Chains A and B, each alone.
Chain A
Amino acid sequence: MSETTQQPILRVRGLKTSFRTDRGTVTAVDDVNFDVFPGETIGIVGESGCGKTVTSKTIMRLLPERNSIIDPSSEILFDNLNLATAPETEMRKVRGDRIAMIFQEPMTSLNPVFTIGWQLDEALKYHTKLDKKGRRDRAVEMLRLVEIPNPEQRYKEYPHQLSGGMRQRVMIAIALCCEPDILIADEPTTALDVTIQAQILALMADLKERLGTSILLITHDLGVVAQVCDRVIVMYAGRIIEQAPVSDLFKRPQHPYTKALLESIPKAGKRSEDGRLPTIKGIVPSLFELPKGCRFQDRCPFKEQKCVDIEPDLTAHAFDDRPVRCHFPRNQEVDLTTGATG
């Protein structure tokens, strides 16, 4: 890839989103900075509740206005627009046309009372000047592109007549029908079986290749990340804690959390001597009771006094130019086949 020479198409700076809840205002993501370059696939990984969905929905401005607050100083720069502050009418032109999104639950993401064709047609109606016939042809073509057998027939069918995998294909068809610059996929395969997951991942890779779409792939499955991403963003408790090209991250995770996360997955075909997995003790802190210093401190084996007192920034350290949010980053190779640090 040649990001160095290219301009990013999306530039996120200081993104901060809070929610008003019964227990007071809680900041779900804070100080999130990253770039998306044309044609690349970025993975966002992290535990449940770390803010992956909030980040992506903030970019699309899809959070309920009722109780969410995007901090006015946040910048989501896309095509001369700051999506964090752009008026809703501008957002509607971006959504579905320039940035599209697919979701975790293929079973409920489609509207059950309209046909597949109607739902594809809707997106085309908003963003293209095609006439009725043109939209229909385009929709059928999209269904064929996502490898739905019998697209003319399926066009007339309702979501409940399709399997989960097929519905996710339809979602992808809808998302890609206006040829967006960026596709945000929020756990697109989590609800699907592995064999269907493989189909969807292959399809996404193939479409990316053909259409040149950048993909922001949200997942908690490190295997999926290793398989399809170019770069990875690791989040923890509302913060980005590490960002790296995919093989660097897997080979030399620098943040203690990333390292522990990689170690704690059972390794394919290998069992450790005592049959036990390395674990991360404890649980993620509640967003209401965040510690003053590093958010990972309670679970971190390398904690020192500095970690308790000062929260680390997301900065590069002497031995590398990768940004890590840790005072004492690791700098060791990990043997991926056994998970042990060498």
Chain B
Amino acid sequence: MTAPATQELNSTETAEKAFVHAEGIHKRFPVHGGILNRVVANVHAVTDVSFSIARGETLGVVGESGCGKSTLGKMVIRLLEPTEGKVYLEGSEITGLDHKQMMSVRRRMQIIFQDPYSSLNPRLTVRGLLKEAIAFHNVVTPDKMESYIDELIATVGMRPESKDKFPHEFSGGQRQRLGIARALALKPEFIVADEPVSALDVSIQAQVLNLMKDLKEQLGLTMMFISHDLKVVEHFCDNVMVMYLGRVMEKIQSDRLREQAEHPYTRALLGSNPIDDPDERRPLTVLQGDVPSPLNPPPGCPFAGRCPEVQDRCRTEMPPLEMRVNGQAVACWARM
């Protein structure tokens, strides 16, 4: 692994040192209603998230459905505009760049979407799909186009004749490979992988994860890897950021996650994941209740309503993300 294991996760870390850096980003989606269709409420999808990813590092983002993972991923590469906050790429701010300036940056940052079925245009062949992106950004000269496409297809481990097929002719795992090929087509340096293996069967999941791992190493990619599967994140990422209802609960190195994670929510996540060993059965951690609505997030810690260690203070005041020695950071009053 190229990423330094002791990578500082401090959000106050200077933006220059990190390859990708986000500083206090928020996303609120307005909800319209009433007679004049005014904004009556906001969905607080992402609230005050900061992080840094060093070159070559993979940051895992985990959390339950609707906690803002995809929204965050899209904001980082500016497919969505943050409501507040700044995103930096190699020290220069990309939030606020205009459309034209964004073009060259966009090429360097790509996304692999969650759903291998709907994210590929069904009317284009694989060649068409790849060509579209390549030509738009002038990645290679037209005469080199064909050989470049062949190379890409080989890179993701598919047969050359796949070029003339349509997305529906492929299996889920192959389609996800195509999604990866499309993301790689522009020779990006940074990739947001939004649940790239969630829709796949275990045996195919392993194939795709291995492929991504190889590519990451060969091409020196920096990644943000979104998932709701802790085991996959632990396996694939250097650092993990745990989110709950749009906020960061904990950041920790992934090889320390299982033993050293401190936040009650992270612990609950670990405890509610069944272990693949029937002889080590233990009662699963069962949290009461459901995730609160992002429409009216509670004033204090968003986890307070389900937390086994809740204190009075938790219900009224959001705990700060407190730094620990190893670059671990925890936002919890019970852990101050």
Contact = CB atoms under 8 A, between A and B. Distances in A.
Contact present between A and B (CB < 8 A): yes
Interface of A: 47-48, 163, 165-166, 193-199, 201-202, 220-229, 246-247, 250-251, 260-262, 264-269, 271, 275-281, 283, 336-337
A193 B228 contact: yes
Contact of B276 (A47, A163, A268): A268
B234 A266 contact: yes
Contacts of B172: 48
A250 B291 CA distance: 34
B243 interface: no
Given A165-B290, A197-B272, A271-B235, A250 B210 contact: no
A278 B284 contact: no
A278 B206 contact: yes
Given A266-B232, A275-B213, A195 B64 contact: yes
A217 to B, nearest CB: 12
Nearest to A336: B277
Contact of B278 (A194, A247, A268, A271): A247
Contacts of B203: 47, 260-261, 264, 279-280
B231 interface: yes
Given A269-B258, A276-B210, A277-B210, A195 B235 contact: no
Interface string B186-230: 000000000000000111111101100110000000000000101
A250 B64 contact: no
Contacts of A271: 234-235, 255
Interface of B: 1, 64-65, 171-174, 201-207, 209-210, 213-214, 228, 230-232, 234-236, 255, 257-259, 268-269, 271-281, 283-287, 290-291, 306
Contacts of B205: 264
Given A201-B284, A275-B1, A277-B209, 7 more contacts: A222-B202, A226-B274, A250-B278, A262-B276, A264-B205, A268-B258, A271-B255
Instruction: List 9 tightest A-B contacts by C-beta distance, closest first.
Output: A198-B272, A223-B274, A266-B235, A227-B274, A269-B258, A264-B206, A193-B64, A198-B284, A277-B206
A261 B64 contact: no
B269 A201 contact: no
Contacts of A280: 203, 206-207
Instruction: Indicate the member of A195, A220, A221, A229 with the most B CB atoms within 10 Å.
Output: A195
A163 B210 contact: no
Contacts of A336: 276-277, 279-280
Nearest to A149: B289
Nearest to A275: B213
Given A199-B286, A202-B283, A336-B276, A279 B210 contact: yes
Contacts of A221: 274
Contact of A198 (B173, B258, B285, B290): B285
Contacts of A166: 290
Contacts of A275: 1, 213, 235
Contact of B284 (A202, A222, A225, A337): A202
A226 B283 contact: no
Nearest to A274: B213
B231 A268 contact: yes
A277 to B, nearest CB: 4
A34 to B, nearest CB: 19
Contact of B65 (A193, A198, A202): A193
A276 B213 contact: yes
Instruction: Indicate the member of B235, B236, B259 with the most A CB atoms within 10 Å.
Output: B235
B53 to A, nearest CB: 18
Given A199-B286, A283-B171, A250 B277 contact: yes
A231 B281 CA distance: 14
Nearest to B259: A269
A202 B283 CA distance: 8
8 contacts: A199-B286, A264-B203, A265-B202, A265-B276, A266-B236, A269-B257, A283-B173, A336-B280
Instruction: Indicate the member of A165, A194, A221, A260 with the most B CB atoms within 10 Å.
Output: A194
Nearest to A281: B207
A206 to B, nearest CB: 10
A267 B231 contact: yes
Contacts of A246: 278
A201 B274 contact: yes
Nearest to A263: B206
B287 A48 contact: no
B281 A227 contact: yes
Given A198-B287, A199-B287, A268 B1 contact: no
A222 B231 CA distance: 13
A337 B214 CA distance: 24
A105 B81 CA distance: 32
A224 B234 contact: no
A48 B201 contact: yes
Instruction: Indicate the member of B173, B213, B284 with the most A CB atoms within 10 Å.
Output: B284
